[in-house]
Structure formats: C-alpha cells, structure tokens
Amino acid sequence: MNTLPCPRPQGSLGHLPRWYAEPLSLLQEGAALAGERRLFGLQLGVGAVVGFSPEWNKKLLTDLDTFRSAGSLSRLVPHLSGGVILTDAPEHSGRRRTLNPGFTLSKMEQLVDTLRGAMPSLPPQFDALAWADWAVMRLLNAAYFSGEFNGDLLHRFLSPLRRPFPAPMSPQPLTRRQVDAEVYRVGRLRTGTPRPDILTFLLGVEGGLTEARISLAAAHDTTTHALAYALWYAARYAQWHTPEHHPALLKEVLRLYPPGWMGSRRVSRDLVWEGVHIPRGTLALYSPYLSGRDPYLWERPADFQPARWAHKPPAWAYLPFGGGERTCLGMHLAQTLILMVLGQTAPLQLRWGNPAPQPGLTLGPVGPLWLEHMRDLKYD
C-alpha cells in the first residue's frame, strides 16, 4: 500500500498552526509534493486527505454514501446547521428535489427586474469589497424578501461570516432566533398577496423558513467575494467589461478565486484510492482552488485569460459551485446577481488595493479594492 506525501508537520500540532495561519501556502506546498496523483495528507487534529484531480473530485462529489457531510468542517459553522447543507444521503436527494424548483435559472431570471431596482448606486470612487458586501446584502434582501427584511438584523446576522475565524463559529443564538422571527413576520405579509420572491416559494416547502436562513448564510460572503473580484477584474481588463464578455470574465474570476476554496466530507468506510488506504473517519477534502490552478488541467493556469472559456474545461476540473447532487443551490442566483451588477456598471478604472486572496470561511480579497466609476462613459 502506498503512503501519502505530506508537508512537514509541526510536532504534535501537526498542520493545524499553518492551516489557520496560511492555509493557501500549505495547500500549495502539499500540491507540489502530490505529483501526478494529486493527493496528499494533512494532520488537522484528525487525519485528512486532500485531492484535486478530476477523478478524486468526481468520486468525492458523487459517492454520497462514502463521503458524508456529518463530521465535515462545515459542522463547525452554526449558521449552516439544520438545513440541506448538512443533510446526508439518503435524505439529501429528496430535500434537494423539493428545493431545486425555487432556484432554477428561469426563476432567477424572473427576479432580474427586482434586483435591478434594488441595486445601490455606485459612487464615483468606491472600495469594491465594502460596496459588494453592502450591495449583496440589499440584493439578497430583494431576491428573498422583496426588500421587506429588517436590514440591520440581516447585517448583524451575516457580518460575522466575513470575519476571520473564530468569528464564523459564534453561535449567535439570540440573533438566529430574531432572524427566524423576522422571516416568519415577513412570510405572514405574503398571506393573500404573494410576491415574486424566493420566500414565497420557500413558504410552500416544509422547513422552508429554516432553509431561507441557512441559504442566506451560504449566499452572502460567497457572492460578495465573487462580485468584488469581478469588479476589480472588470476595471483591470476593461476589454472584458462588456455585457457579452461578462460571463467569461466571471468564470475566470471563479476559476482563480473560488470563494468555496475547500470542501470537506468524512469518510464513512475504509477505502483504497490510487493504492492509498484511507481509513474510515478520515477528513476528505477537495479544493476548487487547487483544481482551478492545476497545470495538468489548465494552460498557463496563473494567467487571467477569459478567452479560455471559448472551450469547455475538462470534466470535474472547474468546481466553484461544487458538483453532482450537492451542486450549489444558489448557483443561478449568484450568477444572475453578479452579471446584473456588471451589466449596470459603466467603465471602471483601477485606483489601488490589495486583491491577494485571503481564505476564511470563504476566499476573498484582502482588500480594499479602490475603483473609479466613469459614470459618464458608456460601453464601446
């Protein structure tokens, strides 16, 4: 049986200190050691295996009996507990079948006018990261609740998720109860006068109000970070800031800076993968960040080249929204929202900032990202 390569551990703490202090450099070191098999080990309090080949991604994302959410790292984030995100097979597929119809592309396209009406204006100079944080909150409020949710409460609920650990682990029991009460209050406003929003759909689903709270938590910082990077790159590569080029620009942003930089599962049975024995209980990780930058899969992977999207990427190589049955429920919502904002944004100019990726619960730029909005100019 083969053994796994692994970066040098730090005594009895294994890789935990580096995992918290500099996880991207730890991942990159592991990836460099992993070679063609694209598999390496880490000690994160429990034994962990990180894989980033398309074959590993497919196995982890489709064998839901073996790769379980129970015991994964998402369990550490109380905001995510109690809904579809942490539901395992066999119940998961039924739950998704119930939720999917409320989040289809055509449903999200019906929300575009609502989103457009809720988009805050862009000041002449702005920090794209701070603006995206605020704008996404408003836009989600519009998409979910027709803007009727208490904005201060929404901010209090969602803002810890964008702070470094341990803030995302804070249970916030009082805030969560207030959020549930507010979802319920807004839901009651729907009686007799349905609005064309996501809450109207979720009201018809058993446990739908809980799913509203949990999916909002999954939606906010991911979409904020993707939008902030998209605005930065729209300024830096102005030739790609046109409505017909925005989809490729966004794909390329998500390849290089997938907010979900790392996904985790627990292995429910002993298995052998590529000649390596992986015992039951191992933490199994896949990494959209490493797969999106893998030189075996992408030509000049570090370069920002939206033109590469003229061709389909290799299967199971591009996973900013995960894959398989557990593909992100809000994929169409996030893309619709970001493309709407880009479409409403006049040419931009780069001022200054720090776009280096910083992993927390999700990956985002260190920031700030100062841009100038050339309101008097139109697209060519």
d(CA 358, CA 224): 14
In this structure, the number of other CB atoms found within 10 A of the CB of residue 80 comes to: 21
Residue holding tokens 């930065």? Answer: 232
Residue 6 vs 253, nearer CB to ligand HEM: 253
Name residues contacting ligand HEM, limited to 215-234 (CB under 6 A). Answer: 215, 218-219, 222-223, 226
Polymer length of the chain: 380
Among 50, 132, 297, 329, binds ligand HEM (CB under 6 A): 329
Decide if residue 52 touches ligand HEM (CB under 6 A). no
Decide if residue 342 touches ligand HEM (CB under 6 A). no
Decide if residue 135 touches ligand HEM (CB under 6 A). no
Residue holding tokens 């070191």? Answer: 29
Nearest distance, CB of residue 125 and ligand HEM, angstroms? 25
Task: Supply angle C-alpha 309, 100, 168, rounded to 5.
Answer: 80
Q: Enumerate the β-bridge partners of residue 369.
A: 353
Nearest distance, CB of residue 327 and ligand HEM, angstroms? 7
Nearest distance, CB of residue 378 and ligand HEM, angstroms? 27
Residue 7 vs 61, nearer CB to ligand HEM: 61
Among 320, 353, 360, 367, binds ligand HEM (CB under 6 A): 320
Name residues contacting ligand HEM, limited to 242-271 (CB under 6 A). Answer: 258-260, 263
Considering only the C-alpha atoms of the chain, give the largest distance between any 2 of them, rounded to a whole number of Å.
65
Nearest distance, CB of residue 188 and ligand HEM, angstroms? 22
Q: What are phi and psi of 51, to 5 degrees?
A: -125, 150
Residue 118 vs 334, nearer CB to ligand HEM: 334
d(CA 238, CA 232): 10
Nearest distance, CB of residue 85 and ligand HEM, angstroms? 4
What spatial distance separates the first Cα and last Cα of the chain, rounded to whole Å?
60
Q: With CB under 6 A as the rule, give the number of residues binding ligand HEM.
A: 23
* Nearest 10 degrees: Cα torsion 220, 223, 113, 183: -10
Residue holding tokens 């040098």? Answer: 8
Decide if residue 186 touches ligand HEM (CB under 6 A). no
Tokens of 78: 């109380």
Question: Which range of residues in 159-167, 271-279, 329-337, 364-372 is near ligand HEM by CB under 6 A?
Answer: 329-337
The H or E element containing residue 248 is helix 246-256
Residue 19 vs 321, nearer CB to ligand HEM: 321
Residues of 159-189 as b/e, b for ≥16 C-beta within 10 angstroms?
A: ebbbeeeeebeeeeeebbeebeebbeebbee
Q: Cβ(150)–Cβ(172) under 8 Å?
A: no
Nearest distance, CB of residue 225 and ligand HEM, angstroms? 7
Per CB under 6 A, residues contacting ligand HEM are 84-85, 96, 103, 215, 218-219, 222-223, 226, 258-260, 263, 320-322, 326, 328-330, 333-334
